[in-house]
Structure 1
Amino acid sequence: MRILRTPDHCFTSLPDWPYRPHYVDVPPMDGSSGRLRVHYVDEGPPRATPVLLLHGEPTWSYLYRHVIAGLVERGHRVVAPDLIGFGRSDKPAEQADHTFARHVAWMSHALFEGLNLRQVTLFGQDWGGMIGLRLLAEAPDRFSRAVLANTGLPTGDTAAPEHFLSWQRFAATTPVFDAGAIVELGTRRPVDRAVQAAYNAPFPDPTYQAGARVMPSLVPTTPDDPAADDQRRAWRAFKEFERPVLTAFSDGDPITRGGDEPFRKAFPAARRSAVAGAGHFLQEDAADRVVEVIASFVEETS
């Protein structure tokens, strides 16, 4: 596995990003003896129970910059990792290096074996929700509660909507993959050019974008997808997870609108909230509301 590492200078002077980087190593999961470096933010009281913020495609932990600040002000410890292939984490150079199973394993090694996180409050959006839900299904005792936002966990047993198939094709074939512009397409308000540049910072040239380009195609869209059986097992495991779960989908996301209902049916202790006036990337559109949702939920269910 050939590994790329974005130079540190790419991450200097980013707007609203004062956070010191932390790193943990994980195995590459390809049978080799090398190691991959996972970057994470760790802010707030170190002895507090952690709020885990998992980002999606094509973002990185920068997406949570305002959420991190707000939760720390409320007295919470916040851990926000970058998925392998994104942010300051290492980037396998070939698309074939990225599989759903490997991304779950990489985060499991980083968060549980590396950081030994326990009593976790999960907040997962987009791919952060998909990976986070798989972690919850496989290690439920690590989690105290979960907040799910604009995410899903497809098995491929139902037809994927055309707009998602179009996104898969676009990510795989577009000559220029501009992460900042993609984020702006998923918000309800304009995204400042400097902020768009921060979303592109992890990708100094196209060779760093293998993960970002291939991730949409790793979402199961057929019943025989390599990840489909693991997804089905996760859905069965949700029935046994009796700790609090909150769905907090935004009202302006055409991709996941209505996607909270299956989770509310699957989790025994699920309840529903909403984030008004926000698109797919609700962390950009409504960070204050996201902070309030998470903090209030933790306080009410502790």
Structure 2
Amino acid sequence: MNILKTAQSRFNKLPGYSFQANFVDVGDGEHPLNMHYVDYGDADAPIILMLHGQPTWSYLYRTMICYAENAGYRVLAPDLIGFGKSDKFDTQDAYTYASHLLWLERFLESVNPSSIRLICQDWGGLLGLRLLAKFPEKFAGVVAANTMLPTGDHPPGEAFKKWQHFSQTVEHFNVGGVIQNATVNELIPEVIDAYNAPFPTEAHKCAVRKFPMLVPTTPDNVESENNREAWKSLSAFKKPFLTAFSDSDPITAGGDRIMQKLIAGCAGQPHVTIKGAGHFLQEDAGDRLIETAVNFFNSIPK
């Protein structure tokens, strides 16, 4: 397998995204593997970690990053390996649930944040909630939006099965088009182009295609038992945990109620449903999501 890089020129003049690029090596020590991340705000400010999912990158959080910084927070927003400005492999076989977790763990070890406030959506939750379960002491609170931690003990809906089939069979994976189809508002062409920017060829999209196949959808999936164990830790997580799901996402609908029922830290919190937003609520209602998150995080002792 080979490591692919996306030319930095493809990221010039993206609307709303002019953050300084930062990179950390999350490889095995012998083979460098660069993960890009946004680090925005005062170095001593409390940290919000924003984790994106599939097929997006840190661009998804651009307006939320600025709002959070203005509210007195420091934002860390990494691009998962295979996405955004981070390195990419040219084969789907390079990507596993476990490898994505390992790369994020190495990112956290390098940046070494503490008292993290987590915002996670889509695969940002499948990864972020596993990190939370493993390192609960590193986190001060969580806002979970349109995400879940599946174990495969309940079959996925038809919509997700179709999504898996699409990811493996479509000849040209139009990343920007996928994001447009999962939002309520119409995106301007420049924003759609920004979502396509990391992926100049189909070879650059191997992580994009693989993620749907890594979701545990059967009880015997390689990560099903690990997610069951993670739920045991999450159920005992008593720090503040807020759900902020949208009202127009058929994939994750109902996941918020499951979290509210099972996670101790959800008790008594002002959970919200954000109206008029699709799966990528950061695009449809990013202002309302970050305002909700900041107000929530402000209630957590700094």
- Interval of TM-score (by shorter of Structure 1 and Structure 2): over 0.9
Asked if 1:87 is matched to 2:84, the reply is yes
Whichever residue aligns with residue 42 of structure 1, its letter is D
TM value normalised by structure 2:
0.97
Within the alignment, does 1:168 sit opposite 2:164 as a pair? yes
Q: Which residue of 2 aligns with 1:297?
A: 296
Aligned-residue sequence identity (percent) comes to: 45
Aligned to 2:240: 244
Equivalent residue runs for 1:28-177 within 5 Å: 28=28, 33-111=30-108, 113-177=109-173
Deviation at 1:27, TM superposition (A): 2.0
| Paired AA for residue 290 in structure 2 | V
Alignment pair present for 1:284 and 2:280: no
**Whole-angstrom distance in 2 between the partners of 1:49 and 1:108:** 20
Structure 2 distance, partners of 1:252, 1:300, is 28
- Which is worse superposed, 268-277 or 146-155? 268-277
Could you tell me how far 1:301 is from its partner in structure 2? 2.4
Q: Deviations 1:258-282 (Å, cap 9, x if unpaired)?
A: 1111111221120322211111000
Report SS of the residue matched to 1:56: coil
Selected match of 2:227 from 222, 226, 231: 231
Q: What is the aligned-residue RMSD (CA, Å)? A: 1.0
Which whole-Å CA distance do the structure 1 matches of 2:178 and 2:262 have between them? Answer: 31
Report deviation, 1:26. 0.7
| Aligned twin of 2:4 | 4
Cα deviations across residues 147-200 of structure 1 (Å, max 9, x unaligned)?
A: 100001111111111100100110111011011000001111101111001000
Greater CA deviation, 183-192 or 261-270? 261-270
TM-score (norm 1): 0.97
TM-superposed CA distance for 1:55, in Å, is: 0.4
SS in 2 for 1:175: coil
Structure 2 contact 140–300 (Cα < 8 Å) conserved: no
SS of 2:194's partner is helix
SS in 2 for 1:124: strand
Q: Provide structure 2 residue ranges, at least 5 long, that are not aligned to the other structure.
A: none
Matches of 1:48 and 1:34 in 2, distance apart?
Answer: 33
* Counterpart position of 2:27: 27
What is the rounded CA distance, in whole Å, between the counterparts of 2:156 and 2:286 in structure 1?
A: 29
Count of aligned residue pairs for this structure pair: 298
Q: Which amino acid aligns with 1:215?
A: F
CA deviations over 1:34-61 (Å, ceiling 9, x no partner): 1210000010111112100000100000
